[in-house]
Amino acid sequence: MKQLLLRVDDDLHARLTERAKREHRSVNAIANEILAVVGESNGRTETEKVRARAAALGMLAAPLKAVEHGRQVRDVEALRAEVLESMRGVGEILDRILDEDRDRLL
């Protein structure tokens, strides 16, 4: 096993230390995981690269799982489709609200 001396700024070190404490791991383990993700990015799609970076940064949500709804276990894809359908049109509403806020601030 090789050693790598790496100089990082104080803010980055503090964030790595905080993450290590949250995950009950060492800063070294966290840094190794992040570097491994960056080092293995060849041959992957852009989506896979973004997902890997998000995972290394601790920002990736857990995948959807089948959930029990009453006595019925719901299919993940059906649940995803239902959620997407329930959000249809929300973007336009949010755009309008943000535009109204911008107008008030100007």
Burial (CB count <10 Å: 0-12, 13-18, 19+), residue 56: middle
**Mean per-residue pLDDT, 40-66:** 71
**Is residue 75 domain-shared with residue 49, that is, in the same domain?**
no
Residue 28 included in any domain: yes
Residues 78, 47 share a domain: no
Same-domain check for residues 23 and 52? yes
How sure is the predictor about 62, in pLDDT bands with cuts at 50, 70 and 90? Answer: low
Domain annotation covers residue 3: no
User: Exposed, middle or buried, 30 (CB in 10 Å: 0-12/13-18/19+)?
Assistant: buried
Cα–Cα distance, 104 to 95 (Å, whole number):
14
Domain range for 81:
67-105
Report whether pLDDT(65) > 70: no
Number of structural domains the chain divides into: 2
Q: Does residue 88 form part of some domain?
A: yes
In a domain, residue 61? The reply is no
pLDDT at 61 over 80: no
Q: What is the pTM of this model?
A: 0.41
